[in-house]
Structure 1
Amino acid sequence: MMKRKCLFAALCGFTLVCISAHAADIDWLVEQIKTGGHVLMIRHAYAPGNGDPENFRIGDCTTQRNLDDRGRNQARRIGQWLAQRGVQSARVYASQWCRCLETAQGLGLGPVAELPALNSFYERPQDREPNLTALKAFLAQQPADGKLIVLVTHYVTISSLTGQGMSAGEGVVMRLNGAGGFEVLGRLGFDL
C-alpha cells in the first residue's frame, strides 16, 4: 500500500513539475516577444472547413473560407491574452486571405498590412517556393532589435518555414538573428 502511495505521489509530483515547466516556458516566450527582434507567427483563427472553394479570389471574401463567430472570438481573445501580458502593439502583417486579415485585425495590436509572401500555397503548390523565398527575404530585412512583428498566415506557411504544425489560432515565436536568419524559440497556444 505504501508503495502505491509513493508511486502516486511521484506521478503527481512529476505532473505538477511538467505543468509548471510548461507555464514557465510560456512566460519565457512572452518575455522574449516583449524584447526587440522577435516574430510571432500565428495561424489564422478558426475557420470551418478545409481549403477554399474553386472560385476563390483574393479580395473577395464571398469566394473564400472565412472565420465564423468562434474564429472572430478566438482572434479577439488572443489579442486580449497578449495585452494582459504586456504585448499591446506590434507591426502586424497578414496573408491576403480574408480569414488571415480578419484574424490580424481582431488581435487589436495595430494596423494590418497585407504581405503576399504569407499567402497560402495549400492548393497552389507552384507558389510554395516563391512565397517562402519572399518571406525569408522579408524576415532577413528586419532589424534584429526592432519592434515585435506579428505574421498571420496559414498552416502550410508556418510548417514549411519553421517545422512546426499549428492548430487554428496557435503561434510560434522566432528570434531574428541579425544575420538574415531566425531561430524558432517555441510555440504559444494562448491558453484559450
Structure 2
Amino acid sequence: MRRRALMIVAAATPWPARATTEDDIAARLAAGGAVMAFRHALAPGTYDPPGFRLDDCSTQRNLNDQGRAQAQRIGEWFRRRGLVPAAVRSSPWCRCLDTARLAFGRADPWAALGSPRAAADAASDASGDGLRRALVAATARRGRFEVWVSHQFVLSALVGGATASGEGLLLDAASDGTPRILGRLAIE
C-alpha cells in the first residue's frame, strides 16, 4: 500500500520523484522549488589549520588548481542548460565562496552554511534548524531554485549522508520539513 501511494505521488509531479540523470536534475531545477547544495570544490587536506581566520584566506584550507577548475566546470554545467539560480548562498569560508564565485559569478555569505570546527559539532550545530527552515522556504517557491555551497559536515548533518568535493545534492523538503535528496550531481 505504501509503495503504491508513493508511485501515485511521483506520477502526479511534472518531474521524477528521484532525479537519476543529469537531464532529470536539470528539468527539476528548471521547474524550481529546489535547492542544489554543493560541497565546496577540491581543497586538499582536512580541517583548517590552527589559528585560521575567516577574514584571511591565507590562513585557511583553500581550493587548489583542480578545485578551481572543478568549480568552473560546475558553472559551465548550469550555463549550458540555461539554469540561473535565484540565489547563491555560501559558507563564509574562502573555499566555499571561491567555489560559488567561480561557478556562478556571485556568492552571498551565510553563516548557517559555515563549517563546524569538528565533526562532533555537526550534530549539535544550531544552524541545522535554520537550514531546514530555509530549505522549506526555498522549496516552496516554484519557478526558481537556489544554490548553496557548504562543507561536508554541514551537508552530512542536514541530510545524513556524505558528499564528495564539488558534489551537488538536489534537495527539497517533505511536508514535515525533513530534507530529501532527489538526486546527486558529481562534476569531476
The RMSD of aligned alpha carbons is 2.2
Residue by residue over 1:147-169, the C-alpha shift from the partner in whole angstroms, topping out at 9 and shown as x without a partner, is 21100000111112112311110
1:3-152 pair list within 5 angstroms: 25-108=21-104, 111-123=106-118, 125-126=120-121, 128-142=124-138, 143-145=140-142, 147-152=144-149
Query: Do the aligned partners of residues 88 and 146 (structure 1) sit closer, same or farther apart at CA in structure 2, a change above 3 Å counting?
Result: closer
Query: Gaps (5+ residues) in structure 1?
Result: 1-22
CA contact (8 A) 2:116 2:125 kept: no
CA contact (8 A) 2:41 2:70 kept: yes
- Secondary structure, in 3 states, of the residue corresponding to 1:175? strand
Deviation at residue 129 of structure 1 after TM alignment: 2.5
Deviation at residue 177 of structure 1 after TM alignment: 4.8
Q: Aligned partners of 1:146 and 1:113: how far apart in 2?
A: 21
Q: 2:152 aligns to what?
A: 155
Q: Partner letter of residue 155 of structure 2?
A: I
CA contact (8 A) 1:44 1:153 kept: yes
| TM-score, length basis structure 1 | 0.78
Q: 1:13 aligns to what?
A: none
Residue by residue over 1:44-85, the C-alpha shift from the partner in whole angstroms, topping out at 9 and shown as x without a partner, is 001111110011111211110001111111101110012112
Q: Aligned partners of 2:62 and 2:109: how far apart in 1?
A: 17
**Quick one: percent identity of the two aligned structures?**
38
Query: Do the aligned partners of residues 161 and 89 (structure 1) sit closer, same or farther apart at CA in structure 2, a change above 3 Å counting?
Result: closer
| TM-score, length basis structure 2 | 0.80
Aligned length: 168
Q: 1:167 aligns to what?
A: 164
Query: Do the aligned partners of residues 144 and 178 (structure 1) sit closer, same or farther apart at CA in structure 2, a change above 3 Å counting?
Result: farther
Larger radius of gyration: 1
Following TM superposition, the consecutive aligned residue runs of length 4 or more in structure 1 with deviations greater than 6 angstroms are: none
